[in-house]
Amino acid sequence: VVRIEMAWSLPSPDDRVEYELWTTPADEETKDLQMKWKDAAMALGDRAYFTPHMYIYDGIKSGCQDENGENQCYNLCTNSGRYCST
């Protein structure tokens, strides 16, 4: 599932287009879109401002860290199971 939201507001004072992408490191569904968007992003150059965001969750609350502090969710988490992606 790919969700796109477009919104218009008053022009920014620096005349740049600002856009964001919310995703996860393991997101296979949008990898093709991201690769195709690369050419457009490069063409915009300094006329655009891009902000990437990654969805992460608390691995400790989700049980990805055992009682010894070891990562139980393998490649979905980092920092001994503290920060995880979906």
pLDDT digits (tens, 9 = 90+) for 57-78: 899 998 999 899 899 988 888 8
pLDDT of residue 1: 59
CA separation for the pair 12, 28 (Å, rounded): 33
CA separation for the pair 11, 8 (Å, rounded): 8
Interval 22-26 mean pLDDT: 80
